[in-house]
Amino acid sequence: MRLRLKIIATVSSLALVAFGTLAVSVNSSETGKIAQPPAGHPLDEIISGYNYRTPETQSLQDDDFENPGFIWVEKGEELWSTVDGAAGKSCESCHEDASETLKTAGAHFPKWNDDLGKPINLEQQINKCRTDQMQAKAWKWESEELLAMTAYTRMQSRGEPVKVEIDGKMKPFFEQGKDLYYTRVGQLDMACSNCHEDNYGNQIRSDLLSQGQTNGFPTYRLKWQKLGSTHRRFKGCMKNIRATPYAVGSDEFVNLELYIAYRGQGLKVEAPAVRN
């Protein structure tokens, strides 16, 4: 594959059990896996989920030839130049060399969209390009095609620091996402913050709770045995606390994604990451 030749190899299951503490070693000099928060940020330090994984899982992510997420990246590369739709275009027709035109794009979603009057995430932007520019059908959420294109496009921004806009037009949507993050829901009466702010670094069953950062999505989860989107992970968390999840692509999940991206400001994009 052309992509392979260009590349240089360079959470939580909720249960009614007590948390146990396990130390996590992080190093701010190691490839941007930890970042210093801006003023007013809710965290004292911003830590990638990479730091909470075993050395074996970290090794899988670090080696592009072993990272199972690259199956989808390679499929995305093929789709990039594949003509589809009534307009007779491919992604490459407009965006040309993705390594140049998308170098920073994946670090800035969700972002404002004037046509819709609200923020959209990367999956929605991909489908909007398909329907508006290519006159092709939108891909279904979690389809192999959308996962592949999301992985390929976001990987172009790997190493770029996450930075999303939260002011101006974005502010009310950001505030809605923040409210969702701290609102207790479900039969277990839990919020995102109960795990990913109050207990990160603590052990639950055989796993460690992370800060729930999204800089590695779309992510290959060993539990799933495939790549998955941020919104799939959100749904899984809500089901774990026995709450009714919002739909993938819903305004609620996009707003939550925006707020969590802000919580990871400064972390470098790792997609496709490997997690438990």
Catalytically active residues are 237
CA 119 – CA 116 distance, rounded (Å) = 8
DSSP assignment of 158-208? TTSBP----SGGGHHHHHHHHHHHH--BTTTTB-HHHHHTTSTTEEETTEE
Q: Which residues contact 234 (CB under 8 A, 6 or more apart)?
A: 245, 246, 253, 256, 257
Please state, in angstroms and rounded to a whole number, the distance separating the CA atoms of residues 255 and 261: 10
Taking the C-alpha atoms of residue 194 and residue 28, their distance in angstroms, rounded to an integer, is 25
Contacts of 140 (CB under 8 A, 6+ apart): 146
